[in-house]
Amino acid sequence: MTDLNHLERDLLTQVEAAGDEAALETVRVAALGKKGSVSELLKTLGAMTPEERKERGPLINGLRDRVQGAIAAKKESLAEAALEARLAAERIDVTLPVPEAPESRGRIHPISQVIEELTAIFADMGFSVAEGPDIETDYLNFTALNFPEGHPAREMHDTFFLAPDEKGERKVLRTHTSPVQIRTMMAQKPPIRVIIPGRTYRHDSDQTHTPMFHQVEGLVIDKQANIAHMKWILEEFCKAFFEVDQVKMRFRPSFFPFTEPSAEVDIQCSRKGGEIRFGEGNDWLEILGCGMVHPNVLRNCGLDPDEYQGFAWGMGIDRIAMLKYGMPDLRPFFEADVRWLNHYGFRPLDIPSLVGGLTA
């Protein structure tokens, strides 16, 4: 009896000390396995006399039952402890904001977004996108576009000129995307319908001007292209881009070397409450310049102005982005401030379309 009590205390101590299910299983096998200490005692019952079996049997069976019970209780306790630890490790604070999926954490820069919007609008009108180099020749940037010698745009304080090459020719960081118009007219025969988005460079730096900025120009060359076509295209663009049902436009006579006649275009707006709204109000805001392509430009591109005519327009992408999305200063566009980009940027999968909405 003393030996059984000692064995029971020893086994129950081992059960209680088991730190995990693997350790508990080791104790179970040592006690109740095929060659376990309790199992060996049970085997001795067969060799006892009936009187000894009657006396020792209940004691050994009782030991087995108590050890089995202790093991079962300990196993349940270990399972509950493991569950509590798992729940504590995987606890979710429901008061925290839901984290964004990896594919939506980035942001599209407003310039890239507006270029996509422009492309979607003009592609619907049958325009393709043309591109050209940022470093241009003096001829393509000025001479071919009917800029006379001595024009202010050719001065160093207005334009970034590169050092002369071995031939003495000075390349220039293009001051507008108009050289791509020349390249397009030289490379393909009319009819031509293209838009030209891209970077341009000028000596300007203030709240609404930067040394590098973005511009988009449009060009149509055909035998019957006229001002009425141009006015319709620009009106449809403004309605689609600013997402208004109607808009009034005002064409004021102006001068550009590469177009004749030329015009500045104002768009109807309201400035009430310090906020600019288009398609309403009695104010006007200039947004672009346009005109009929000058006959000299057509001749410089090898086109007969008696057979072909066309029109062109240009506007600042940064400027119309500021107007549409309420950005008061141009300089943060180029400062790479992640906070600014998170506020004004666009989700990467929100691709502009006329069907789904430009700013859906």
Mean pLDDT within 296-316: 95
Measured CA angle at 314 (ends 134, 279), to 5 deg: 140
Is 111 found in the same domain as 86?
Answer: no
Whether residue 74 lies inside any domain: the answer is yes
Task: Give pLDDT tens digits for 196-238.
Answer: 999 999 877 776 678 889 999 999 999 999 999 999 999 999 9
Mean pLDDT within 15-38: 82
Confidence check: pLDDT of 157 > 70: no
Whether residue 101 lies inside any domain: the answer is no
Res. 349 pLDDT band, cuts 50 70 90: confident
Task: Give pLDDT tens digits for 180-191.
Answer: 999 999 999 999
Is 259 found in the same domain as 161?
Answer: yes
Tokens representing 48?
């006892």
Q: How far apart are CA 101 and CA 75, in angstroms?
A: 40
Confidence check: pLDDT of 135 > 90: yes
Whether residue 357 lies inside any domain: the answer is no
Is 39 found in the same domain as 187?
Answer: no
Query: What pLDDT score does 249 carry?
Result: 93
Is 14 found in the same domain as 64?
Answer: yes
Is 82 found in the same domain as 130?
Answer: no
Task: Give pLDDT tens digits for 43-102.
Answer: 777 777 877 777 777 877 777 888 888 888 888 888 888 888 888 888 777 788 887 777
Is 115 found in the same domain as 34?
Answer: no
More confident of the two residues 344 and 151: 344
Query: What pLDDT score does 74 carry?
Result: 84
Res. 357 pLDDT band, cuts 50 70 90: low
CATH number of the domain encompassing residue 335: 3.30.930.10
165 burial level (CB within 10 Å; 0-12, 13-18, 19+): exposed
Query: What pLDDT score does 96 carry?
Result: 80
Alpha carbons within 13 A on the beta-carbon side of 165: 8
Is 151 found in the same domain as 47?
Answer: no
Query: What pLDDT score does 356 carry?
Result: 57
Query: What pLDDT score does 36 carry?
Result: 79
Confidence check: pLDDT of 360 > 60: no
Is 170 found in the same domain as 32?
Answer: no
Res. 1 pLDDT band, cuts 50 70 90: low
Is 138 found in the same domain as 272?
Answer: yes
Confidence check: pLDDT of 341 > 70: yes
Sign of the C-alpha dihedral, residues 284, 286, 287, 292? Answer: positive
More confident of the two residues 105 and 192: 192
Whether residue 97 lies inside any domain: the answer is no
Task: Give pLDDT tens digits for 258-286.
Answer: 999 999 999 998 888 878 888 888 899 99
As for how many domains the chain has, the answer is: 2
136 annotated as a binding-site residue: no
